[in-house]
Amino acid sequence: MSAPTETLLSTPLNALHIELGARMVPFAGYSMPVQYPAGLMAEHHHTRKAAGLFDVSHMGQLRLVGPDAAAAFESLIPVDVIDLPVGKQRYGLLLNDDGGIIDDLMFFNKGNHEIFVIVNGACKIGDIAHIQYRIGHRCEVISMPERALLALQGPQAVTALSRLAPGVEKLVFMTGGNFTVNTGTQMIDVFLTRSGYTGEDGFEISVHNDQAEALARALLAQPEVKPIGLGARNSLRLEAGLCLYGNDIDEATNPVEANLLWAMQKVRRNGGAREGGFPGATKILAALAYSTGSTALKGTKKRIGLIALERIPVRDHTELQDGQGNRIGEVTSGLLGPTIDKPVAMGYVDAEFNALGTKVVAIVRGKPVPMEVSSMPFVPTNYFRGV
């Protein structure tokens, strides 16, 4: 008897991907393009030099609406939601009661008591149910399955998009708003932010499913823009030192272990005006105090960046050892970085080995590969923060 065939969902751009010759693979329950005929390396370099268009419509989009929406959402994440200005976006971490990371997400203050949230595709059903269960009595939790999401990324993304939507060039990193895109044949209303997950300048564009293909075709008609698949999206985000949920963070890790303290504003930390008040706060704030104190960190783990000292790619789930052959951790993401042209990785080690410059050993097919703890990002980011 043959194995059952997985039933996959399609994004509104599925026909366009096939027309463009994409190789489609299962991802987060969807049929998604992993690469186009040009190949992963060419797509990666094109995004770093010009502009790449990504279909990220598998992601979940939702609205939290009501006078108590910001405070309610803040009770689920260790991030400052209440004080986020209208028109600005922030990165957040949805936590379980033990402080583990259910998902990482982006949220935007649209004003008029409305928070717009984007969650990961593989987690969206559980995320939305969790949010509804926890705060649905305090605000409306409105899923938006009728919306597609496109990401236009790269140093020439603003040049391409501003031809079609004048005014987007005035946005800075992590701001956004409502815009109208002129495709030449129709006007398309979108909501977009100047953000993304590649380390480059760019935009994430929310558009109605019915207009997603027309928008994508208009963007691909711009000379700077080419279609980019999941393969290059992964290599770009790793070079930028950004976590992939399910690989680098999950419910078994908390923000302190994951080195995501930059995502926890002071107001939610020890001594802050709204200290704690989020799931797992007691554990996380104790770990935060411990990690920033003078006490040795033995027995805890930390997410780190690694660069191989030999030209041998070190993949996910590779064991990490100290110089005496003792297991000290594991790689969670790893590949040959196309831009840096070196094998780079991200992983977790016992915290006493997390100092920059520390030498560790990865065991690749039984062979020891020397690596060095590195700062991240591996490639400098190019976010536009204004002139």
What are the pLDDT digits (tens) for 127-150?
999 999 999 999 999 999 999 999
Given a cut of 50, whether residue 46 has pLDDT beyond it is yes
pLDDT of residue 89: 98
Percent of the chain with pLDDT over 90: 94
What is the rounded distance in angstroms from the CA atom of residue 69 to the CA atom of residue 118? 15
Please name the residue ranges forming H helices in the chain. Answer: 14-19, 40-49, 69-74, 124-135, 157-164, 209-220, 230-239, 281-291
Mean pLDDT over residues 364-384, rounded? Answer: 97
Q: Which two tokens stand for residue 381?
A: 């980011």
Encode pLDDT of 256-311 as tens digits. 999 999 999 999 999 999 999 999 999 999 998 887 544 445 568 999 999 999 99
Mean pLDDT over residues 243-255, rounded? Answer: 97
Computed over every residue of the chain, the mean pLDDT equals 96
Mean pLDDT over residues 52-68, rounded? Answer: 98
pLDDT of residue 3: 43
Considering only CA atoms, give the Rg of the chain: 21
What is the rounded distance in angstroms from the CA atom of residue 289 to the CA atom of residue 36? 47
Strand-strand pairing, 140-143 and 60-65: antiparallel
pLDDT of residue 200: 98
Mean pLDDT over residues 54-62, rounded? Answer: 98
Domains in the chain with CATH codes = 14-51+147-239 (3.30.1360.120)
Encode pLDDT of 101-129 as tens digits. 999 999 999 999 999 999 999 999 999 99
Long-range CB pairs of 337-340, under 8 A, 24+ apart, other chains included: 337/235, 337/238, 337/239, 337/378, 337/379, 338/40, 338/41, 338/44, 338/45, 338/235, 338/239, 339/44, 339/45, 339/48, 339/239, 339/379, 340/239, 340/307, 340/378, 340/379
Mean pLDDT over residues 44-49, rounded? Answer: 98
Q: N- to C-terminal Cα distance for the chain?
A: 63
What is the rounded distance in angstroms from the CA atom of residue 234 to the CA atom of residue 382? 17
Mean pLDDT over residues 159-186, rounded? Answer: 98
What is the rounded distance in angstroms from the CA atom of residue 116 to the CA atom of residue 270? 28
pLDDT of residue 387: 81
Which residue is listed with tokens 């080419």?
A: 226
pLDDT of residue 298: 57
Other residues' Cβ atoms within 10 Å of the Cβ of residue 252: 9
Encode pLDDT of 207-216 as tens digits. 999 999 999 9
pLDDT of residue 135: 98
Amino acid (one-letter) located at 310:
E
Given a cut of 70, whether residue 239 has pLDDT beyond it is yes
